[in-house]
Amino acid sequence: MSVGRRWAWSHPSYAPRNPSGGPAGPWAGVAPELWERWSWQQAERLRRYADVDRLLELTADERQAFVASADLFEVALTPYYASLIDPLDPSDPIRQQALPQRGELLRFPFELEDPLAEEAHMAAPGVTHRYPDRVLFYVTHNCPVYCRHCTRKRKVGDPESAQRRDELESGLRYIEQNRAVRDVLLSGGDPLTLSDVRLQELLERLARIEHVEVLRLGTRNPVTLPQRITPALCEVLRAYRPLYVHTHFNHPRECTEAAGLALERLADAGCVLGNQMVLLRGVNDDPALVLDLNRWLLRHRCRPYYIFQADMAEGITHFRTPLSKGLEIINHLRGHISGMGVPHFAVDLPGGLGKVTLTPETVLRREGSRYLMRNARGHTVWFHDVEEAGLPRADA
């Protein structure tokens, strides 16, 4: 790809358009029909240091991180996602998510290569069976963009971790033979990097298993490659009910016209949409910003589902915030948006011990059957409970 030196625009919330209707900036010469083709976006991903440096003019710290992390984790970002980056701002939230940062080179004794012990709980090739009724099915190592906060850096982007057909078959047989499994989450990598045909084969096979009641897809394509959400793909997904799609918007700058269209198409196809935001220092650790994000998601029929504390994975500690920040955000949301817009704030415990949800302190103290409670705005009031054995005495 031939790109020029830096460019800028006043509000890069959507890939800017030239008068012919195609993309502007360094992609001004790309035909609109190519830009909207997801296979072109995938093929033209920026992966080499020289291409990214010509596009954004990396800072000295970014250059150091890019070179030093080359053997640790792949770099890849679609032209679409790259077009959302402000090339003049090293602290740009999308830039931080997509490009190596110096913090990735630091190591701490508590960091883990596999923080959620997914490999230790792998019951069959690619199948992590950690909860009694649910399994995670790793079906691909590929993503349109390799997020720098990824918790699976040990395998995502590594061709050696790609699932072979015989391994996928072994995973499917395991699910078929375990009647306790009611819920299957297709993950990776990103399952939507598979072709429509291959994805349909997997969904069809799983849908035929009598004891499997819920199918889920974990995907960031609506964020990083919304062109992938084609009418043809939606026709494939329409056949499977219920199908839950968990996506991963982290910042309002990702909430573009194209991303909104992708969510609308998925919802129209009958998918139940939920968003899983990861709390990232310097990216989205601001209550007002998360409120804006969640309002946009609800407008596009995607319910905020989780805010995740960043895991104790290697090379992402610089992204982590204090737990108190997540609680502050939840408290702010409760005061300014309906319950539909307030996600769970969750920590996925190391060692495969599962998720725990944290909430702001609302019960201040108890006196007998009375509880002193505080709401999101700081007001306090006594709430009278009833006893386990029945109603309290009327003259009490």
User: Which listed residue (63, 102, 134, 325) is catalytic?
Assistant: 134
| Coil, strand or helix at 180 | coil
For residue 286, indicate whether it is catalytic.
no
Among 198, 238, 303, 355, the one annotated catalytic: 355
Task: Give the residue ranges of DSSP H helices in the chain.
Answer: 32-35, 38-43, 49-56, 60-68, 79-82, 93-98, 165-177, 196-207, 221-224, 231-238, 257-268, 287-299, 323-336
| 393 has catalytic annotation | no
Q: For the chain, how long is the longest CA-to-CA vector?
A: 83
> Among residues 147, 234, 255, 302, which one is catalytic?
147
Q: How many CB atoms lie within 10 A of CB 242?
A: 11
User: Are residues 318 and 281 in contact, defined by beta-carbon separation less than 8 angstroms?
Assistant: yes
* Active site (annotated) includes residue 190: no
92 is catalytic: no
The answer to whether 187 touches 163, Cβ cutoff 8 Å, is no
**Choice among 45, 80, 95, 143 that is catalytic:** 143
Question: Is 255 annotated as catalytic?
Answer: no
Residue tagged active-site, from 80, 92, 146, 150 = 150
Instruction: Tell me the C-alpha distance between 272 and 242, whole Å.
Output: 8
Q: Pick the catalytic residue: 131, 240, 244, 371?
A: 131
- Residue of 54, 148, 152, 228 marked active site: 152
How far apart, in Å, are the Cα atoms of 257 and each of 84, 227, 290?
12, 11, 18
Of the candidates 37, 63, 130, 325, the residue annotated as catalytic is 130
What is the C-alpha separation between 47 and 50, in angstroms, rounded?
9
| Count, residues in the chain | 396
Q: Comparing C-alpha atoms, which of 209, 200, 81, 55 is closest to residue 145?
A: 81
**What angle, rounded to 10 degrees, do the helices at 196-207 and 231-238 form?**
10
133 catalytic, yes or no? no
The residue from 86, 92, 114, 348 that is catalytic is 348
**Residues whose CB is less than 8 angstroms from the CB of residue 257 and which lie 6 or more positions away in sequence, other chains included:** 14
Our answer to whether residue 292 is catalytic in this structure is no
Q: Is 234 marked active-site?
A: no
CA distance 349 to 90: 32
165 noted as active-site residue: no
State the amino acid at position 172 in one-letter form: L
> What are the φ/ψ torsions at residue 332 (nearest 5 degrees)?
-65, -45
Catalytic residues: 130-131, 134, 143, 147, 150, 152, 311, 348, 355
